[in-house]
Structure 1
Amino acid sequence: MSAEPSSGVLPAQALRAMFESGAIAADLPLAAGQVQPASLDLRLGPKAWRIRASFLAGGVRTVAERLDEFAMHEIDLSGGAVLETGCVYLVPLQERLNLPAGVSAAANAKSSTGRLDLFTRLITDRGVEFDTVAAGYEGPLYAEISPRTFSVLVRPGARLNQIRFRRGVAALSDAALRSLHDAQRLVDVEAQIDGGLAFSVDLSPPADGIVGWRARRHAGLIDLDRIGHYDPEEFWTPVRPMRAGGVILDPGAFYILVSREAVHVPPDHAAEMTPYMAVAGEFRVHYAGFFDPGFGHGPAGGAGSRGVLEVRCHEAPFALEHGQVVGRLVYERMTERPDILYGAGVKSNYQGQGLKLAKQFR
């Protein structure tokens, strides 16, 4: 009798095999760099719809069946199209799934997407939750996109979100996480473990005094294909701490900050950033995020890598202090070690990072 498949997150080599078997299909061949160590970048298709409200398909209907209720007009993305702030769009993705019964998936915004305050979620047919794909799902994938701060120019093939596939239960218990930290040191400070590994905000000013960036409202258009192109101060205001320390977050404002901890994700594990509970204050880390195997891993060139935090304040101004806990890292086991690691063998924009804006900025 053959052994049961191991539970955990599927690595890069398994994702390529899923393409070969038809469990993942696409309109075009895989693009260079599309397969990451523990996730797959998803590509926008050639058209979009401006919709009047966000929606889910519900338990028995398809997205296409519900689209007539919400679509306002269709947009051709083939020559590039502007997605405007304050609007909601639905884009069919190039990838579709035919998952085995034991494999489920979850999606998240890519790092650069979150750092542009570009809200995006995955929707499936008969789906009752965003960013969640049920085990055995067969059907198309859609991205809901809503620019919050900056209008963006997009084209077919743009990769705004990513998907991670799991077999069974992958998350580590707190006891297993403590053992992993003792063996491989996941953060460079004392580990706080309770429902995941806590991380906090760094508001201790470096030599230039800048501890973060606050997005400017009514800034110019960002072409997502222009890498290292834009002057940060045309789109962002530097944030410096008050004389007494800390910063006061303004309601509705969007900030890029950085974790106090240097984070390490060992090669045989993956991690996911989850927002802190609302009881922490009138703010939240705005986007969750995937951390691939090898992030912050010394042999992969990542020693000292920090977690970048996308933070939005809500109803009341809030005084954020240095070292305040703002989120959790949930670690998951891989089914096997990926054949590529973040920062080693793939083009990783944020390996070894500190406070860093999206890759479109100089």
Structure 2
Amino acid sequence: MDALREAAVDRQVAWLFIGLFGALVAATLGAWWLGLRADSPPRLARQEVLWGDLRAAWVGAVLFWIAWVLGAAVATLLFGFVAFLVLREFITLTHTRRADHRSLLLAFFVVLPLQFVLAGSRFFDLFTVFVPVYVFFLLPLLSALGNDPQRFLERTAKIQWAIMVCVYGMSHAPALLLLDLPGYAGRGAFLVFFLVAVVAAAHQAQAVAARHVRARPVARAISRQFTWRAWGWGVAAGGTVGVLLYWTTPFMPGPAALMGVLAGGSGTLGAFVVTALQRDAGVRGRDGRVSVTGAVGLLDRVAPLCFAAPVFFHSVRWFFGWDQGLPVLSLPELGG
């Protein structure tokens, strides 16, 4: 791994994609072999979920490769398009009225593109406060102008948090591409890959542990699969993958493991929150074998990333002391 860390960028990219697509081929062959042994309804149902995850992983890997080849601008556009689909699905799960149309138009056609433009332009100071400050004050005003007070607070809060999760959260992933970290120029895509890898590993490990490790559910009415033990396994998986991929980051193994724990843990908690939203809307997620309305269940798959990306992005910035008033931290000061 030290040799990989010191290798040229082109060689690192080559090994990264060889490992990525090789792992996907192995996983696909393993899923095919397990499918031959599926002889009961529960196994067939799990097999269907597994194939859905694999298809999503293949699509994500191909899009990641395309984004790498075509550059940060195209990657930002791809993430923006995914955010549009996820926001559309989120809104279908919430109760809105005619008076909210101005706010929804603003969310889809002004806030979303402007947030990604700010990310792509590296205006990080405005990027980090645009949604939680300016947009959060503007949306209630537009809804109030609709002259409909019925369930006003509930409607406004749902639209605000739809933007917060689907737009604000997702926009932090392409923002990683443009972080100008010391000694890490031109390698921002590695940070995106690191984030997606640890979040996916934590989410899958948590799901597997939930099926095989007996424990009391934290909130049975929301999810019978979410337990603190399973969550702990997911966090451990995120930290482990973080260590294995530390050569793709500006961190040494210790800080890389910590970043994996933060991203993986926040991602699995985000998936749990989205499950609560789905239960409130009266729909079931992928674990219930029922497609979610809107973008055919995309919210299920990217919710961990939407919650983990802001945590990871700001943790990286804090680590290098980018915020005003923070001392610049070097790797040796944190055990690197």
Both proteins in one fold, TM over 0.5: no
TM-score by length of 1: 0.26
> Relative contact order (C-alpha < 8 Å, sep 6+): which is higher?
1
TM-score by length of 2: 0.27
Q: Which has the larger share of strand?
A: 1
